[in-house]
Amino acid sequence: MILIQGGTIVPVVSPPVEEGYILIEGSKIKKIDRGKYQGKDYKTFIDAKNHIIMPGLINTHTHIPMTFFRGIADDLPLEIWLKEYIWPLEAKFIKPDFVYYSSLCGITEMLVSGTTSFCDMYFFENEIARACEDAGIRGFITPGVLDFPTSSFKTPRDAIAKAENFIKNYMKHPIIHPGIAPHSTYTCSLDTLKKCKEISEKYNTIFHIHVSETKKEYEESLKKHGVSPVKYLHNNNLLYENTLAVHSVWLDDEDIELISQKKAKISHNPESNLKLGSGISPVKKLLEQKVRVSIGTDGVASNNNLDMFEAMRITALLHKGINLDPSVLNAREVLKMATLYGAECLNFREIGTLEEGKRADIIIIDIEDISTIPFYDPCSAIIYSLNSRQVKYVIVNGKLVVEKGEIKTVDIEKLKKIAKEYRERIKNAI
């Protein structure tokens, strides 16, 4: 058992607990209470005095195997970035070893910065899962599906078959949660999208898809289908409670109403949307319509980091600015977006809050740093003051994977060496 003693516990669904303790047994939280734990039955003790104890952050959209493409093509529109740089590089480099080590690099970055769960859309899903197991992060792995060939599959039928096999193999895994990810309405035919939904419904997994990311995507959908991407999904029974609609930038009021009615979920990716000049999702309107909105970083080829603390701060500030209202997306709401709402968007409610009986996905943050002194309100500090470098302990499914700021499960120096070797190969290929 692990005992976390002292500090300020932030359960998210209830008021903070000052100077309390959390007892972890196996993969779950056994006890949360005020005061000092009197038992002696724990094996590992963590002194959390002058720390915040909170749920691990949940990143609801990544392309984690693209980590080795960080910074390779910046300051470009999405279409040029994809077609002229990313897709050609993927065709040359995306192979099992690349996916494993690039994923491991991104996973390590997430763990040491306080992310305990992430939802990924990519290929060679078994290699991503292997990296999750080796590093000890919770992965919602959704194999990507496209209508054109990739290094992982030749046809969409192959892709869907691989996705179904992956789902069957990992359905009962303790930290790997499988799903399916048709890329978008503009890269997948209606037949492909419907077959993906059949798999999603058969196994009750998330249907992870890019939706209305750019103005061009929105306008081309109007020309081709006569309706927006959201209405196209709705008209074909593809907008439903398992739909995780990523980006959702270009939405009209009817789109928002349909998303709400169908209980579809949103992954808001403010940093990549800003960097690619795609626009800003109408998060205020979505939340007002009771839509569940979570936060994602996207991949580092378009962000260029996986820092959820940065993403939370930008989310809070961005929507206050565009709405000319400082009360929009207060600190507590943004914290829920990165924890509780993330869990709900991924249909896994055993994480996202600190409650007895839930999975022990917990992070512990030092608040003695000069940037968080003096300390008054934990939610304010989490969203507006502290940074990811203050994360000192990370526990995933009851296992301590980051201790005193250092990852325990990955050989960092070896990983750096491999990353630098790939950098030289990628540079020579550009």
> pLDDT tens digits, residue range 244-276?
999 999 999 999 999 999 999 999 999 999 999
What's the Cα-to-Cα distance from 380 to each of 52, 287, 384, 389, rounded to whole Å? 12, 20, 6, 17
> What does the alpha-carbon distance between residue 163 and residue 177 come to, in Å, rounded to a whole number?
12
Mean model confidence pLDDT for the chain: 97
Say if 2-55+360-407 and 57-345 have the same CATH topology: no
> pLDDT tens digits, residue range 113-164?
999 999 999 999 999 999 999 999 999 999 999 999 988 999 999 999 999 9
At position 328, the amino acid (one-letter code) is V
Q: Is the pLDDT of residue 429 over 90?
A: no
> What does the alpha-carbon distance between residue 124 and residue 133 come to, in Å, rounded to a whole number?
15
Note whether 265 and 289 are within 8 A (CB): no
3-state SS string over 78-90?
Answer: HHHHHHHHHHHHH
> pLDDT tens digits, residue range 210-245?
999 999 999 999 999 999 999 999 999 999 999 999
Q: Tell the CATH topology of 2-55+360-407.
A: Urease, subunit C; domain 1 (2.30.40)
Q: Does domain 57-345 have CATH number 3.20.20.140?
A: yes
Cis (ω within 30 of 0) for the bond into 270? no
> What does the alpha-carbon distance between residue 397 and residue 274 come to, in Å, rounded to a whole number?
33
Predicted confidence at residue 278, as pLDDT, reads: 95
Query: What tokens appear for 315 in the block?
Result: 């989310």
Cβ neighbours of residue 119 closer than 8 Å, sequence gap 6 or more:
58, 59, 60, 61, 62, 140, 142, 179, 206, 208, 244, 267, 296, 346
* 91 burial via Cβ count (<10 Å: 0-12, 13-18, 19+): exposed
Confidence of residue 318 (pLDDT cuts 50, 70, 90): very high
Domain residue extents for the chain: 2-55+360-407, 57-345
Strand partners, 52: 8, 365
Confidence of residue 87 (pLDDT cuts 50, 70, 90): confident
Note whether 175 and 166 are within 8 A (CB): no
User: Model pTM greater than 0.85?
Assistant: yes
> What does the alpha-carbon distance between residue 53 and residue 109 come to, in Å, rounded to a whole number?
20
Note whether 125 and 143 are within 8 A (CB): yes
